[in-house]
């Protein structure tokens, strides 16, 4: 019996130790803080050497040269970060973070609803703040994400969350700001095999149903209703600009077709997600003021005749074309912690470094409609920022020493770090 008790106690201690590695959400900022001596990358293209960044009650009170900082009667705790770099917290758009945990375990997957048209599905209510993946993002400087549903033609509503919270309500930065449309792929004409004919008919039917749904929603907005229709009411924000339509498509003809379709339906604000052919239709996008969430930096070219490095060069080319864009990481959810290194690849192939930082901070905030709160290190915005020992876009020097969300200092422990230390210690014991 005593041996069993000892074994049970050992297991309890072991389990408790393992669970102790899961970070607890940080508490609200109670003491004003000033980070001094670092190089500040504001996020809007500006760089300040020997900067001070001060924040109090979760808001930035000063960001600029150290010589210009005055406490103004507030007692600031000074933290020297001399020789390091301060950046805005990075933002991951178009992500299933918190909705998808283990691909092989169905019970952990909650990113998709059945049916083709689900505009009223709120992805954020399924967001799991206890995901093991989330801390690995924070450790690389990614502090916010757009939680996005998938599937069907209209997948549902996305929300922007910060990645340190007890529950989805606490995590919210902007609720239900985007409706996600998966544009039906074009079908090759001239091929009249039964399969292709069926695909064309299905596509046409889907577009007709989509047109009818948007038309009904537009009328619904103007009429008083005795009972709310959730599907229609969730779409009404598209017609006054309070919500954006995120159009997921890659090919040039589909991009143009989808935007014209949405414009005809009366949609005010649109964003192209994917955008593999965005450069081909750059003039059209610029003329219509359509931003792009570009997904394919680490991908092969879509056409055999394309430059093999075109996906790497695309962010720089979009910048030159005057297109507002940001970057996402769609290769895998678990790899989304590599978002800063996607931007680093773009720097190596022509995108200016500070613009690359903007592509994962301020540009993303603008496209997601949260730039008044986050995205750059400026007075009045949330103190959501990170301190790196070196260049945050380089995997060799991206070493986050401090991270703050709304002024709250984060615990940067994650599962991978814990496992590294565990097994590193194991082999040291054998020496």
- Torsion of Cα atoms, 65 then 66 then 71 then 77, to 10°: 130
164: number of Cβ within 10 Å: 26
Was domain 90-369 assigned CATH 3.20.20.140? yes
Task: Tell me if domain 16-87+375-431 and domain 90-369 are identical in fold.
Answer: no
pLDDT at 38: 96
- pTM beyond 0.85: yes
| 10-residue stretch averages of pLDDT, the chain, 431 residues long | 47 42 84 96 96 96 94 92 97 94 82 92 94 94 96 96 96 96 88 85 93 94 85 95 96 96 96 95 96 94 90 96 95 90 97 97 98 97 97 96 96 86 79 65
Q: Please give the CATH superfamily to which domain 16-87+375-431 belongs.
A: Urease, subunit C, domain 1 (2.30.40.10)
Upper half-sphere CA count for residue 23 (Cβ side, 13 Å): 26
Instruction: Round to whole Å and give the CA distance between 262 and 159.
Output: 21
pLDDT at 2: 52
Q: Which residue has the tokens 């615990």?
A: 411
pLDDT at 19: 41
Residue extents of the structural domains in the chain: 16-87+375-431, 90-369
Contact 156, 122 (CB under 8 A): yes
CB-based contacts of 259-266 (< 8 A; 24+ apart in sequence): 259/284, 259/288, 259/290, 261/207, 261/210, 261/211, 262/181, 263/288, 265/211, 265/214, 265/215, 265/218, 266/214, 266/218, 266/238, 266/239
pLDDT at 15: 40
Those residues whose C-beta lies under 8 Å from the C-beta of residue 217, and which sit 6 or more positions away, are 119, 231, 232, 233, 235, 236, 238, 239
Rg (CA), the chain: 24
- Torsion of Cα atoms, 229 then 233 then 234 then 240, to 10°: 170
Contact 187, 199 (CB under 8 A): yes
* Distances 132 to 86, 108, 342, 402, 417 between C-alpha atoms, Å: 26, 12, 22, 20, 12
pLDDT at 8: 44
Q: Using H for helix, E for strand and C for coil, what is the string for the chain? A: CHHHHHHHHHHHHHHHHHHCCCCCCCCCCCCCEEEEEEEEECCCCCEEEEEEEEEECCEEEEEEEHHHCCCCCCCCEEEECCCCEEEECEEEEEECCCCECCCCCHHHECCECCCCECCCCEHHHHCCCCCCCHHHHHCCCEEEEEECCECCCEEEEEEEEECCCCCHHHHEEEEEEEEEEECCCCCCCCCCCHHHHHHHHHHHHHHHHHHHHHHHHHHHHHCCCCCCCHHHHCCHHHHCCCCEEEEEECCHHHHHHHHHHHHHHCCCCEEEEECCCCCCCHHHHHHCCCCEEECCCCCCCCCCCCCCCHHHHHHHHHHHCCCCEEECCCCCCHHHHHHHHHHHHHHHCCCCHHHHHHHCCHHHHHHHCCCCCCCCCCCCCECCEEEECCCCCCCCCCCEEEEEECCEECCCCCHHHHHHHHHHHHHHHCC
């Amino acid at each position: 019996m005593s041996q069993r008790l000892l074994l049970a106690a050992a297991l309890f201690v072991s389990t408790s130790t393992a669970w102790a590695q899961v970070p607890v959400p940080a508490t609200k900022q109670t003491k004003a803080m000033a980070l001094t001596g670092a190089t500040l990358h504001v996020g809007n293209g500006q760089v300040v050497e020997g900067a001070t960044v001060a924040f109090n009650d979760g808001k930035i009170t000063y960001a600029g040269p150290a010589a210009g900082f005055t406490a103004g009667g507030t007692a600031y705790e000074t933290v020297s970060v001399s020789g390091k770099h301060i950046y805005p917290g990075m933002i991951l758009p178009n992500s299933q973070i918190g909705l998808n945990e283990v691909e092989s375990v169905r019970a952990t997957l909650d990113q998709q609803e059945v049916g083709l048209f689900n505009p009223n599905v709120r992805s954020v209510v399924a967001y799991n703040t206890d995901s093991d993946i989330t801390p690995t993002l924070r450790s690389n400087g990614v502090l916010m994400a757009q939680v996005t549903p998938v599937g069907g033609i209209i997948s549902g509503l996305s929300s922007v969350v910060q990645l340190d919270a007890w529950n989805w309500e606490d995590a919210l930065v902007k609720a239900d700001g985007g409706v996600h449309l998966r544009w039906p792929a074009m079908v090759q004409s001239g091929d009249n095999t039964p399969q292709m004919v069926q695909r064309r008919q299905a596509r046409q039917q889907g577009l007709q149903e989509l047109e009818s749904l948007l038309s009904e929603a537009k009328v619904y907005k103007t009429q008083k209703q005795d009972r709310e229709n959730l599907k229609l009411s969730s779409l009404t924000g598209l017609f006054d600009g309070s919500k954006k339509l995120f159009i997921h498509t890659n090919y040039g003809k589909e991009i143009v077709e989808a935007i014209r379709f949405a414009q005809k339906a009366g949609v005010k604000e649109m964003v192209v997600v994917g955008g593999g052919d965005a450069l081909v239709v750059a003039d059209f996008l610029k003329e219509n003021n359509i931003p792009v969430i570009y997904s394919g930096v680490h991908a092969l070219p879509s056409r055999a005749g394309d430059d093999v490095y075109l996906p790497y060069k695309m962010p720089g080319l979009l910048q030159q074309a005057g297109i507002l864009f940001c970057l996402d990481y769609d290769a895998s959810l678990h790899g989304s912690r590599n978002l800063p290194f996607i931007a680093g690849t773009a720097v190596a192939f022509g995108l200016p470094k500070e613009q690359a930082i903007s592509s994962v901070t301020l540009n993303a905030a603008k496209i997601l409609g949260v730039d008044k709160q986050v995205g750059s290190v400026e007075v009045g915005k949330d103190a959501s920022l990170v301190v790196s020992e070196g260049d945050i876009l380089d995997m060799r020097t991206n070493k986050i020493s401090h991270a703050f969300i709304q002024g709250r200092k984060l615990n940067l422990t994650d599962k991978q770090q814990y496992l590294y230390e565990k097994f590193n210690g194991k082999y040291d014991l054998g020496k």
